[in-house]
Amino acid sequence: MSLASIACLFVFMGVFGSGQPGVSVMSVLRIDQGPRLAAMGGAGIGAVDDASAIFWNPAGLGRVEDKRFAFSHNQWFAGIKDELVHTALPAGSGAFGLGLVFSDESGIEFWDASNVPGDTFRTWSGVLSAGYGFTVARNYHFGAALKGFYQNLYTSGGYGGAADVGFACKPLPFLGLGVTGRNIGTATYGQGLEDMPTEAGVGASLTSGPVNVVLDVILPMDNRVAVHAGAEYLPVPELAVRLGYRTGPEDNGTLGGLSGLTAGLGVNLGGLSLDYAITPYGRLGMSHRIGLEAAIPRKGLGSVSVKVVDATNLLPLAAGVSTSGAMSYKGETGRSGALELTRLPAGDLVIRTYRSGYVSRADTMQIVGDREQTAIIALSPLAFGSMTGVLFDAGTRKPIGGNVAYRGPLQGGLSIDAELGSYALRNTPVGQYYLTASGPTDDYVAQTCTVKVESGRITNRDFYLVRSQRRTAPPASPAVGHAGLQSVSFESGKADILPEFESVLAQAGEMLSANPAVTVELAGHTDPSETTGTQYPSGWELSQARAEAVKQYLVAKSGIAAERLTAHGYADTQPIAANDTDAGRAKNRRVEFRVTGQQ
């Protein structure tokens, strides 16, 4: 039955059903089933989440997460007693429910048509119910149940069948709502059809800390509207104290106002619950209900209680939540910041939390299964900083144009003006950014780095880009190597680093550190006359020694990985000046930097 059908049922009963007491049969179908909710005024349409949901509202079966088995006994006045069995078995997105009720009354006196007493006799009734409740959307459930019954009245009997339908939801973590139609069917006694105790009801439950409050409004087809209300208080998780009041279906005007009272206690020890309820019925006497329910966790399934708070003050925060991995889900926490994720299989659960004006988060937790877990997620308000910097040519140290791409809390790219070479990102959300700087032409080697933007601070990051050239290409000038760095000169016949060139090597180390993907050849050279009377047999050995000296210096002083540097000696085969003067020969005694590629 749809929600529209349930609404129509309410209207139908309101017009035709009210004010006709005592016209239906099988009153056992109206007996509150389960001592817990019976002690709370018999209100359970919006609150039920245990095995007794098969009676109160079959949609409540969709909330059952564990296997549940319940047994209860009702002892009435005049020797009447009821035995009840309920079972809820999770399956798929919901749970199957089974219910069995047996009501018995013995020792009834028999009088014949002549008013002559005879032997006593016994009557009994039995009801068998089966249903299924399932989740139609997060915290929204639908359910239906079918029941068959038989009533033995000594000289006659009756039987029939009926259906229950229901809807339940939890729009807020502390609020539960429900609507149901019960006993929709027919009964046969002898040759005739009899009216069933059909009724509709709406219910609500409100939870605040250790207090649960419930309220139902019942509209019977053969009686007046009844209101059921109750509360449950748990001073400790293992103990519950319950109290309630109801205005029907019994006639409180005849039995007395106290006959609407209900009360009870509950003890919960792990997965085992023992409950008791008592209800006075005026001069008729008292009724007592006692029940035992066992909850067996569904193997492999767990739950997570998610709570989102503001990281600055730890107050609850309404936020969007999506999950992947063990379960796919997308929703919101609401103003309380709380969200329950249930029926989770074991495995990794990725929880993504987001809210406008806050830094989004992605957290991964291990779902163990068969237990309740908690995830407290603190979202930090967005803070802002700035990034600035300049793109330089590594050799000339002059600004150049190009592009800076950034990726982090924000992503995008900036075109750099060739005249200024500068870039700026202002009012940027704080966090880690991955920057890639590229030059104005393809021969510049792109450079990458990670920059942390901090709140209220300007972070500066300059880039010195090198140009990649072939080894055979001529140098830019007699004093500048192919990488745009100044060459290192040597004394005649020696391979020792001169103090005046340590600044040149420091600059080279800075460039190589800023461009960790660049590989460089160190090209050593000599003039034709400098090996006479030295330790080097020829210019080949001397030029190789000079290249190796520069390599060792960069590795030791600047921490450059040795595999990025290649040392080659070229003797006097690549002069950059004439060797017929001292000045020309001094220029030829050198080591050049040549970019050979990227790792």
Q: Quick one: 265 and 308 in the same domain?
A: no
Q: Are residues 148 and 163 in the same domain?
A: yes
Domain that holds residue 374: 301-379
Q: Which of 296, 313, 336 is the last residue of a domain?
A: 296
Residues 287 and 322 in one domain: no
| Rounded distance between C-alpha atoms, residue 281 and residue 262, angstroms | 10
Q: Judge if pTM exceeds 0.75.
A: no
Note whether 142 and 175 are same-domain residues: yes
Instruction: Choose the most confident range, by mean pLDDT, from 90-94, 518-522, 553-557.
Output: 553-557
Chain-centroid distance of CA 486 in Å reads: 58
**288, part of any domain:** yes
pLDDT at position 144, please?
97
Instruction: Using a pLDDT cut of 70, give the percent of the chain over it.
Output: 90
Q: Report DSSP state, residue 498.
A: P
Lowest mean pLDDT among 25-34, 43-52, 486-495: 25-34
Instruction: Quote the longest CA-to-CA distance of the chain.
Output: 154
Domain assignment present for residue 473? The answer is no
Q: Give me the pLDDT at residue 9, please.
A: 36
Same-domain pairing of 231 and 101: yes
SS3 550: helix
What average pLDDT does this structure show over 522-536? 83
HEC profile of 348-408: EEEEEEECCCECCEEEEEEECCCCEEEEEEEECECCEEEEEEEEEECCCCCECCEEEEEEC
- In this structure, is residue 444 part of a structural domain? yes
**Which pLDDT belongs to residue 350?**
94
**Domain at 408, CATH number:** 2.60.40.10
Residue 245 in any domain: the answer is yes
Question: What is residue 545's predicted lDDT score, i.e. its pLDDT?
Answer: 93
Report the candidate in 307, 593, 384, 589 with the shortest Cα–Cα distance to residue 476.
Answer: 593
Give how far Cα 93 sits from Cα of 31, 139, 193, 370, 542, Å. Answer: 29, 12, 38, 17, 81
Regarding whether 513 and 405 lie in a shared domain, the answer is no
pLDDT band at 483 (very low <50, low <70, confident <90, very high): low
Same domain, 331 and 344: yes
pLDDT, tens digit, 9 for 90 and up, residues 220-275: 988 889 999 999 999 998 999 999 999 988 777 777 778 889 999 999 987 899 99
Write the pLDDT tens digit of every residue in 190-231.
Answer: 777 888 899 999 999 999 989 999 999 999 988 889 999 999
Q: 207 vs 179, 234, 465, CA distance in Å?
A: 18, 11, 64
Instruction: Measure the CA–CA gap between 504 and 486, rounded to whole angstroms.
Output: 7
The pLDDT value recorded for residue 198 is 92
Let me know if residue 426 belongs to a domain: yes
Where residue 168 falls among pLDDT bands split at 50, 70, 90? very high
Please say if the pLDDT value at position 2 is more than 50.
no
Q: What are phi and psi of 513, to 5 degrees?
A: -65, -35
User: What CATH number is attached to the domain comprising 30?
Assistant: 2.40.160.60
Classified as helix, coil or strand, 16 is helix
Element (H, E) at 549: helix 539-558
Q: How many CA atoms lie within 13 A of 459 on its CB side?
A: 21
Quick one: 511 and 408 in the same domain?
no
Bigger pLDDT: 346 or 440?
440
| Residue 55 reports pLDDT greater than 90 | yes
The tokens describing 212, both together, are 């649960």
Would you state the pLDDT for residue 213?
97
Task: Give the span between the Cα atoms of 259 and 278, in whole angstroms.
Answer: 11
Residue 190 lies in a domain: yes
The CATH number for 525's domain is 3.30.1330.60
Question: What's the rounded Cα separation, in Å, for the pair 97 and 61?
Answer: 7
CA gap 336, 319 in Å, rounded: 10
Q: Are residues 336 and 211 in the same domain?
A: no
Pair (519, 454) in one structural domain? no
Average pLDDT over all residues of the chain: 86
Token pair for residue 298?
Answer: 């569904």
Range among 19-33, 230-244, 509-523 with highest mean pLDDT value: 230-244
Please indicate, yes or no, if residue 40 is contained in any of the structural domains: yes
What percentage of the chain exceeds 90 in pLDDT?
Answer: 48
> In the chain, how many domains are there?
4
Last residue of one domain, picked from the residues 465, 496, 524 = 465
> Residue 268's pLDDT is what?
93
Residue finishing a domain among 325, 345, 379: 379
Tokens 């009734």 belong to which residue?
125
Tell whether 456 and 577 lie within a shared domain. Answer: no
In a domain, 470, yes or no: no
pLDDT tens-digit map of 125-159: 999 999 999 999 878 999 999 999 998 877 778 89
| Shared domain check, 371 and 312 | yes
The residue with greater pLDDT, 92 or 272, is: 272
